[in-house]
Structures are given as structure tokens and as C-alpha cells.
């Protein structure tokens, strides 16, 4: 069985650790001087070398060569996620009293230490503070903020940094050459970016991609990575930003609809846009408000709709700061015309006022349904089974079930519904969907419906005999 690349190329010494020189230099000097702590805390994001440093440090302390295939009885690794109870810690406290089997120190590596329960931390506290002379603790975590302050104050803490894109590209290129994997520079850069500073993730992705290019006869390209990860093409992301710059809402909607038709998730597009804006923000600070809105969009329960809203608003609004800067930057020209000539010129150059939006007519639900029946059968099949309520500019559509709500919340149906409303003379409505039937207007009937779990109001006409 072939070994995973991230295991095959795992660092074997502190000198081989990449991107954490601020940590490895201090540890190397401490080892050379024999100035060891009784407890260390290695914290930082996943996949940046915490576990590798913990294992290397454990072997260096004991003066033995690090080999991950060899088991050393005096180096004990504990996964706190599955051994997080107070009984587990009490058992550990008993075992630490036993002297090392053959090494100088008995070293306990506790991974994901933040997963310990509060009671387990309390049980561990005294042992961490005053361990036996022959014991060293190395704690590792991705969430140091979840550790009690009493634990943090009793250890030497080392904070790991996310791996820089440059370091990741260099190391991936080294592995690719060793493994004879053909890959373009742009593809290496994309892998490094998509790994969010995690070495392990970047190498695992390279490993996964290498299986798609058998015998090295095919090159790993940006297109291959985008297809594998379900990413939007880089050109599409740039075109979206260009549409915002050019205030071309129509083009923007078409690009987004095309991406959704291709099965690209809205959250992925949001993340790609934030990454692209971050690269360009120094030269285009006018994108700062958009960046802020996109960050909030990731928290939306309907990211696709939120993305249309955020980009649409950004495209339809001309940034005042940008307009002012452009005006100030315009060159100054000498004017040599008499006042009557200037007045005549000003009249000619006076911009035409944009046409006002037509006055909105009152919503006629039956008219809307009939229009969709004649022009958009798919929308009609859903909308005809819904009820509605209009309050001011808020149009609430009661879809009767979650299935129809999901349909109407789809970006294609949403844009189509707005178009149909405009075609029937209705403008400026805010549309909301609720997956229930229209609530009864009568308060007593509404109370009964609530008790019975819902219901539809029916009008019954009585006739005199």
C-alpha cells in the first residue's frame, strides 16, 4: 500500500520544519543548553506541524533518533478527544509516577488537549504544575483559548503560524519533483491558497490530484483543480468584480445564474471573491465595503440569494469616495469663453435626468398567476399553489410546504418572480416566503388553527331556505 505523501515527507528534525523558524530556533537553543521545561504548549491552526514538532522534541529530549515507524515505550501519545474524562486523567497521574523504561525522560504528548473536560483539567492541574523529575508534558491544541488560564500559566507556550503561500509553493514543488508529478506554477499556487495555511491539507490535495494524472503523462492544471474542488473559474470571479466596477447588474445576474447552473455553491463563490478582493485591496480600496458585506454573507442561511443581493447592491451604487477622487484627479483646463457662451455651453452639456421608474400598480394576484401561466409554466406550477399577504411593500408568500419554499427561494425563481411582477405593473416589493398556509384572519380561527397544528381558512356561504 502506498504511503500518503504528507506522511512520507513529514519532517524528521527541527531543521526540516518549514515556516516555524521562530519556534524551532528557540527549541534548538534550549536543547543545546540543556534548559528544558517540564511542560510545553504548542498551539496553532491545523496542519502546520504541531504534532511533528511534539514528536521530534520528545525524541530530541531523550537523545534518540526520530523514526515514526518505531515505538518508544517512554514516549506516550494521548488523544484527548477520546480520553477526556476525569478517570482517564487520574489513571495518567498514577502512571507518571513510574520511572522511564529506558530513556532519560518519560514524555506525554497530549493532542487536542482542549477537548479535556473541566473536571479532567482540574485533575491534571497539580501534575502539570509539579510533575515528577522524570516527566515532561507536551500539549498540542488548535483551540488554546478553550484552555483554562491556570493550565496556560504553567507551561511554555509556542504559537504556530499558518504556512505562507510562498513556503507552501516551494515545498509542494519539491515534493512534485521528487514524485515526478507534472504540475503548473499556477496550479501550485492555487493548491497553496486553497489549503488556508495548512501544510498537511496542501500535500494531501497534491496527493489526491496526482492519482488523476496516471504515470505522470498528464499535467495538473488550474482547471483540473477547479473541477475537483467545485470552484468557480478564476475568470468568472474576475468578471463578477468587473461587473461591480462597471455597475452592470444585468451581466452580474447572468454570471451568477450561469455559475449556479454549473452547480457551483454560493458559499464557495463568496470565499473566492473575498480571497480575490484581499489580493487587490491595496490598489482598489473601494472594494472594502463589498469585502465587509461578503464576510457577513457567509453567515446567511441562503448564501446564494445573499450573494446576489450583496453584489447587486454594490454594482447599482456608485461609491461616492471613488467619484470624488476621480473628480479631484481630473486635469484643470483654462477657460477662455465669455459668460453668455458659458451659459449656452452649460445648457447644452446639462445631463438628461434618468427616466423615473413607472408608478407601481396595486398587486393583482390573479393577474400575476395568469401571466406566469402564459409565460413561465415552471413558476406558475409553484406559485399557483401558494397564498399571499401584502403589507405595505412587503409581499409574504405562503408556500404551504418547505419544498415549494425552497423552489421560490432559488435564485432563478426569485429573479423570474420579480420580472413577472414588473411585467404586471408592480414594482419595489420585498418578497418573503413562509412554508405554511396563509394564517386565518379571524383571531378565534387562528387560535383554533394553532391548537390543531395549522389549517386553511375556508369561506362558507349560507343560503336561506
Average pLDDT estimate for 389-408: 88
CA distance 92 to 72: 17
Q: Which of 248-252, 336-340, 439-443 has the lowest mean pLDDT?
A: 336-340
R_g of the chain computed on alpha carbons: 32
CA distance 98 to 245: 69
pLDDT in the model for residue 160: 94
pLDDT in the model for residue 57: 95
Q: Which of 21-25, 300-304, 359-363, 424-428 has the lowest mean pLDDT?
A: 359-363
Average pLDDT estimate for 10-21: 90
313-350: pLDDT as tens digits = 888 864 444 443 343 344 444 444 454 554 555 455 54
148-169: pLDDT as tens digits = 999 999 999 999 999 999 999 9
Q: Are 284 and 229 in contact (CB under 8 A)?
A: no
Greater confidence, 82 or 167?
Answer: 167
Q: How confident is the model at residue 50 (pLDDT cuts 50, 70, 90)?
A: very high
Average pLDDT value for the chain = 82
Q: DSSP letters along 45-84, please?
A: STTSSHHHHHHHHHHHHTT----TTS--TTEEEEETTTS-
pLDDT in the model for residue 300: 81
Whether residue 448 has pLDDT greater than 80:
no
Closest CA to 411 of 379, 439, 381, 384: 379
Whether residue 351 has pLDDT greater than 60:
no
Q: How confident is the model at residue 43 (pLDDT cuts 50, 70, 90)?
A: very high
Q: DSSP letters along 276-305, please?
A: HHHHHTTT-GGGHHHHHHHHHHTT-SSHHH
Q: How confident is the model at residue 53 (pLDDT cuts 50, 70, 90)?
A: very high
pLDDT in the model for residue 118: 87
- Main-chain dihedrals φ then ψ at residue 133, nearest 5 degrees: -60, -25
pLDDT in the model for residue 347: 52
DSSP 126: H
pLDDT in the model for residue 44: 92
Q: Which domains does the chain have, with CATH numbers?
A: 5-159 (3.40.50.300), 165-229 (1.10.8.60), 234-320 (1.20.272), 365-452 (3.30.300.180)
Closest CA to 237 of 300, 343, 305, 311: 311
State percent of the chain over pLDDT 70. 84
Q: How confident is the model at residue 6 (pLDDT cuts 50, 70, 90)?
A: confident
Where in 10-155 does DSSP place strands (E)?
39-43, 75-79, 106-111, 135-141
pLDDT in the model for residue 397: 93
pLDDT in the model for residue 2: 64
Average pLDDT estimate for 249-258: 89
Amino acid at each position: 500500500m502506498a504511503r500518503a505523501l504528507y506522511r512520507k515527507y513529514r519532517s524528521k528534525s527541527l531543521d526540516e520544519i518549514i515556516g516555524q523558524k521562530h519556534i524551532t530556533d528557540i527549541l534548538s537553543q534550549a536543547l543545546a543548553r540543556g534548559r528544558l521545561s517540564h511542560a510545553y504548549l504548542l498551539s496553532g491552526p491545523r496542519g502546520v506541524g504541531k504534532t511533528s514538532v511534539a514528536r521530534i522534541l520528545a525524541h530530541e529530549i531523550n537523545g534518540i533518533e526520530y523514526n515514526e515507524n518505531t515505538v518508544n515505550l517512554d514516549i506516550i501519545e494521548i488523544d484527548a478527544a477520546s480520553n477526556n474524562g476525569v478517570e482517564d486523567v487520574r489513571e495518567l497521574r498514577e502512571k507518571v509516577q513510574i520511572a522511564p523504561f529506558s530513556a532519560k525522560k518519560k514524555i506525554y504528548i497530549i493532542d487536542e488537549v482542549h477537548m479535556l473536560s473541566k473536571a479532567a483539567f482540574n485533575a491534571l492541574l497539580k501534575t502539570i504544575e509539579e510533575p515528577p523529575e522524570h516527566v515532561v508534558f507536551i500539549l498540542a491544541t488548535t483551540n488554546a483559548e478553550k484552555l483554562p488560564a491556570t493550565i496556560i500559566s504553567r507551561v511554555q507556550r509556542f504559537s504556530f503560524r499558518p504556512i505562507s503561500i510562498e513556503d507552501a509553493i516551494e515545498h509542494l514543488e519539491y515534493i512534485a519533483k521528487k514524485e515526478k508529478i507534472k504540475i503548473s506554477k499556477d496550479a501550485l499556487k492555487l493548491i497553496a491558497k486553497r489549503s488556508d495555511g495548512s501544510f498537511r491539507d496542501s500535500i494531501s490535495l497534491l496527493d489526491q490530484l496526482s492519482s488523476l494524472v496516471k504515470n505522470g503523462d498528464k499535467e495538473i492544471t488550474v482547471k483540473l483543480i477547479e473541477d475537483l474542488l467545485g470552484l468557480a473559474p478564476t475568470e468568472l470571479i474576475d468578471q463578477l468584480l468587473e461587473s461591480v466596477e462597471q455597475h452592470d447588474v444585468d451581466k452580474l445576474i447572468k454570471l451568477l445564474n450561469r455559475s449556479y447552473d454549473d452547480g457551483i455553491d454560493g458559499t464557495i463563490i463568496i470565499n473566492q471573491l473575498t480571497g480575490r478582493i484581499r489580493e487587490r485591496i491595496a490598489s482598489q480600496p473601494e472594494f472594502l465595503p463589498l469585502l465587509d458585506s461578503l464576510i457577513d454573507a457567509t453567515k446567511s442561511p441562503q448564501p446564494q440569494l445573499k450573494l446576489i443581493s450583496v453584489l447587486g447592491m454594490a454594482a447599482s451604487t456608485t461609491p461616492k469616495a471613488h467619484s470624488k477622487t476621480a473628480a479631484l484627479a481630473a486635469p484643470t483646463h483654462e477657460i477662455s469663453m465669455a459668460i453668455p457662451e458659458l451659459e449656452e455651453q452649460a445648457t447644452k452639456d446639462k445631463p438628461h435626468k434618468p427616466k423615473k421608474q413607472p408608478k407601481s400598480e396595486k398587486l393583482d394576484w390573479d393577474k400575476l398567476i395568469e401571466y406566469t401561466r402564459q409565460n413561465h409554466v415552471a413558476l406558475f406550477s409553484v406559485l399557483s399553489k401558494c397564498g399571499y399577504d401584502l403589507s405595505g411593500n412587503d409581499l409574504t408568500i405562503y408556500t404551504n410546504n418547505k419544498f415549494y419554499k425552497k423552489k421560490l427561494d432559488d435564485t432563478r425563481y426569485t429573479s423570474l418572480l420579480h420580472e413577472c411582477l414588473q411585467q404586471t405593473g408592480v414594482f419595489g416589493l420585498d418578497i418573503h416566503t413562509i412554508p405554511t398556509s396563509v394564517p386565518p384572519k379571524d383571531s378565534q380561527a387562528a387560535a383554533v388553527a394553532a391548537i390543531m397544528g395549522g389549517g386553511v381558512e375556508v369561506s362558507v356561504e349560507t343560503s336561506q331556505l
